[in-house]
Structure 1
Amino acid sequence: MSAQAFVQNSTVPTPPERHYDLVCPACGHTMADDGLTLRCPEDHAPALLRTRYRDQEPAVSPESDGLYRYRRWLPVVRTLPGAGGTVVYRSEGLGRALGLGDLWIAFNGYWPERGADLRTGTFKELEAYAVFGRLPERPPVLVVPSVGNTAAAFASVFSRTDVECLLVVPGSGLHRFATVPGIAPTVRLVSITGGDYDDAIELAERVSALPGFRAVGGAWNVARRDGLATVLLSAVEAMGALPEVYVQAVGSAVGAIAVHEAATRLIASGRYGPATPRLLMCQNEGVAPVHRLWHGCPEARRPVGKEERRAATGRVYADELVNQHPPYSLTGGIEEALRTSGGDVLPCPGEDARAATELFARTEGIDIEPAAAVAVACLGRSVREGRVSSGTRVLLNITGGGRARLSAGMRDDRAARPVLRLDPSTLESPGTLQRIRELFPAADVSA
């Protein structure tokens, strides 16, 4: 199917009602969506819900901005003007340097010369736009734990709405807010000084249990996955075909799962196939939970103490890839996607990632984020080791880039100022929950 044919499928506007159902892949239970549902109500082992769209043809809405171009395959009932999206192009410089003749780059970030306009510099904005579009008319306060990138994306997107949102990040992630143009009063940022991502997750879970608050849901939220799935939809529209290999650095691997789901949906439409792209997931060497689980390392499931966890996280090149509890063995999770696609997981030493950062800047002309550099390095290793042949059609997801471009000329004092700074030792205190609750006096406790 050609890229032009993809475009020609796209004349029907999104209906005002929800144009999809939620389906449980474990038991087949089907339900209407309320914009907040995260899990199947039936009693069985955990499974990630999936969307089933009434329009089963790949379609675009050319009049819509950014990722909303694919709104027929997004669980959204509203859109925001000016939304960004993925820019896909065939690489010459990097492809030549790596020895790949058919390398395509999915660039997610800020690169105006290429038309890339994700203003916080990463593909996490795709999640935020999709989550907003899925919400009911009067949602509870959304609670978002993050290393920093996801929170910055939600701060940027949700500051343009009247939806209340709580962002919980470790203090080390505050620098990622430097390119956020301003945070609205409806969005509250809480930082954990000296804490890490797991601390943010644990606090967010406790806050989400309060009346009037709701967890955004990580991989459990179909909007987050389908928002990230637009990376593949953009690529297929540009390439006219599915890639044979898909490469991405992963923490929770929500993006890789999303791409696998989108590929399955495209194949089911009868226009592509027969095989889904082989997933090549990439992680830091030293702190690589997905790699260890996939390769059956004995210590992979060993509980890790907080001090050990924090020390290890401080040594890695890309701290956004350190999720210690990825959605691995559940139905629809990482293991299933890897097995179904014939994929693999590779670790990347920090020195290789640093070299990849310089290589990308030299060959493609733009700065990239640490996680993206890990993916570039692992792709190069895969070519050298014969895992990926020179003629393979490869899609490389640059999950973040252009932040240096965004930051140029900005004041040094632009980093976000949290409304509340917490010490890790206070996170389990009832008083901490009360202080957070008081940040949202208008929250509907009946929600």
Structure 2
Amino acid sequence: MDPACTYLLVCAGCDWRSSDDGLCLSCPRCGDDTLLRSEYAEQRFTVTPERSGIFRYGWLPVRREVEGSQRPAVYRSAGLGKALGLTDLWISFSGYWPERGCRMTSGSFKEFEAFAVLGRTPEQAGVMVIASAGNTAAAFAAARSEGVPRLLVVPSRALPAVAAADAGSADVQVVALKDATYNDAIDFSRKLIACGPGFFAEGGVRNVGRRDGLGVVALAAFEEMGVLPEVYVQAVGSGAGAIAVHEAAERVIASGAADGQSVPRMLLCQNADFAPLSRAWQGQPDDPARAAAPLGLYAPELANATPPYLVGGGVRDVLRAGSGDMLVAGRAEAEAARAMFEELEGIDIEPAAAVAVAALRDAVRDGRLAPDATCLLNVTGGGRRRLYADAPAAAPRAWLVSRGDSPDEVAARVLDAFATGSRPRAVASVR
């Protein structure tokens, strides 16, 4: 597949456009002020049923298909919708739920981005460095792609989830930071990248592969529902998934397939204890005491302290485009929502998804959406209890380090491991 024939990179902030080398993360003119987007030569909404997982959809900026991807299970809810008082609630479930044909060994929708990013990245480009709170690392560990070595940098508490998805490939190495937060992992990953030309950043929300992979949530929903949702609900950290769904919905509308529909109204959800996007949306001033996410958050994967809020095409623009809103939910209400979802829908869900369920329940109660609105709830992760029962995880293998350790020494150790095909010993216990 020649990606130059299928799409271009375009900047919404200026008229720059270019073919893609698979590594470009920003416009050479606008820099980090605006997100790049992919513009596809094929503008029709197409589905190729014989292709697997996310690759059944044409709007992916990839040069090759990576085997093993899954797509979400999209279905109309009966139990939860009735309990919430919604007559047209749809659920996009990502995780491990074999009865619904969903077998994501990472237990998270982050697999969509992992497979798309790896399909976009040229081989032999160096070591891709990915900072993660846990789910993204698990997804990149689960995706098998020879020729794209990955270094996953995570807080040590995330190791069990990463180990459950890790297929044991020599193309994957893990650095685990003791007593660390997600933002600690981001900081340490930047230091590793600065250690030498052997490393490059995956790019996060700035990687068009990541966003267009996550946009499969909207494409799969449109395929199953026949319409775009009027309201879209998701728990967010950086907001990459919400931006992706918005961009994918715009493509569906531009294709003419959506019959005059508008982009979905976004209801985005965060921890009540740490909600930088919500504070920004409400116009609250920066608070130095809230600059870093505390340890022990209910859903730590939502704790990105520097989300892309003000950049062109970022979260603020997406919220404004569909008259959206930011919601929050606390630990107690999220735990109650988690139990309710499992009882009514029959599968366990992850804390981030529970935050979204709790916030949706509150939004219905407070009259923020009409009871008959066509609503899509993105359950971004679930089924791990079932997954671990069916395939118990091996002991995690990682380079366990402290935040104060020398990045140069860690980088040298990791590069040597990639060169020799070795992996560190199993970690006996993590914090």
* Aligned pairs (5 A) from 1:162-311: 162-209=147-194, 210-272=196-258, 273-299=260-286, 302=288, 304=290, 309=292
1:162 Cα deviation from its structure 2 partner: 3.3
Q: C-alpha offsets along residues 249-271 of structure 1, whole Å, 9 cap, x if unaligned?
A: 00001000000111111111122
1:45 Cα deviation from its structure 2 partner: 5.9
* Aligned pairs (5 A) from 1:83-232: 83-158=69-144, 160-209=145-194, 210-232=196-218
Note the residue ranges of structure 1 that are not aligned, 5 or more in a row: 1-13
Q: C-alpha offsets along residues 136-165 of structure 1, whole Å, 9 cap, x if unaligned?
A: 23322100011111101101103x523211
TM-score, normalization by structure 1: 0.90
Against the structure 1 CA distance between its residues 89 and 436, is the aligned structure 2 distance closer, same or farther, given a 3 Å change threshold?
same
User: Does the 8 Å CA contact 2:173/2:414 hold for their aligned counterparts?
Assistant: no
Against the structure 1 CA distance between its residues 426 and 52, is the aligned structure 2 distance closer, same or farther, given a 3 Å change threshold?
same
Against the structure 1 CA distance between its residues 44 and 422, is the aligned structure 2 distance closer, same or farther, given a 3 Å change threshold?
closer
TM-score, normalization by structure 2: 0.93
1:184 Cα deviation from its structure 2 partner: 0.9
* Aligned pairs (5 A) from 1:344-363: 344-363=325-344
Q: CA RMSD in A?
A: 1.8
For residues 270 and 80 of structure 1, the distance between their equivalents in structure 2, rounded to whole angstroms, comes to 29
Q: Which amino acid in 2 is paired with 1:171?
A: S
Match of 2:388 among 407, 420, 426: 407
User: Does the 8 Å CA contact 2:266/2:319 hold for their aligned counterparts?
Assistant: yes
Match of 1:426 in 2: 405
Match of 2:15 among 23, 28, 41: 28
For residues 299 and 415 of structure 1, the distance between their equivalents in structure 2, rounded to whole angstroms, comes to 41
Against the structure 1 CA distance between its residues 415 and 357, is the aligned structure 2 distance closer, same or farther, given a 3 Å change threshold?
farther
Against the structure 1 CA distance between its residues 44 and 407, is the aligned structure 2 distance closer, same or farther, given a 3 Å change threshold?
closer
1:303 Cα deviation from its structure 2 partner: 6.8
Q: Which amino acid in 2 is paired with 1:417?
A: R
Match of 2:26 among 27, 39, 52: 39
1:212 Cα deviation from its structure 2 partner: 2.0
Q: SS state of the match for residue 211, structure 2? A: helix
User: Aligned pair count?
Assistant: 419
132-141 vs 273-282, which deviates more? 132-141
Matched, 1:396 2:377: yes
1:18 Cα deviation from its structure 2 partner: 4.2
Q: Which amino acid in 2 is paired with 1:431?
A: E
User: Does the 8 Å CA contact 1:178/1:407 hold for their aligned counterparts?
Assistant: no
User: Does the 8 Å CA contact 1:142/1:216 hold for their aligned counterparts?
Assistant: yes
Matched, 1:340 2:321: yes
370-379 vs 14-23, which deviates more? 14-23
Match of 1:416 in 2: 396
Match of 1:9 in 2: none
For residues 31 and 177 of structure 2, the distance between their equivalents in structure 1, rounded to whole angstroms, comes to 35
Matched, 1:313 2:295: yes
Q: C-alpha offsets along residues 76-129 of structure 1, whole Å, 9 cap, x if unaligned?
A: 121123321111000101100100000000010111111111111100110110
Q: SS state of the match for residue 311, structure 2? A: coil
Match of 2:41 in 1: 54
Taking only the aligned residue pairs, the percentage that are identical comes to: 48
For residues 280 and 82 of structure 2, the distance between their equivalents in structure 1, rounded to whole angstroms, comes to 33
User: Does the 8 Å CA contact 1:177/1:415 hold for their aligned counterparts?
Assistant: no
Q: SS state of the match for residue 73, structure 1? A: coil
User: Does the 8 Å CA contact 1:18/1:76 hold for their aligned counterparts?
Assistant: no
Q: Which amino acid in 1 is paired with 2:416?
A: E
Against the structure 1 CA distance between its residues 206 and 425, is the aligned structure 2 distance closer, same or farther, given a 3 Å change threshold?
closer
User: Does the 8 Å CA contact 1:156/1:183 hold for their aligned counterparts?
Assistant: no
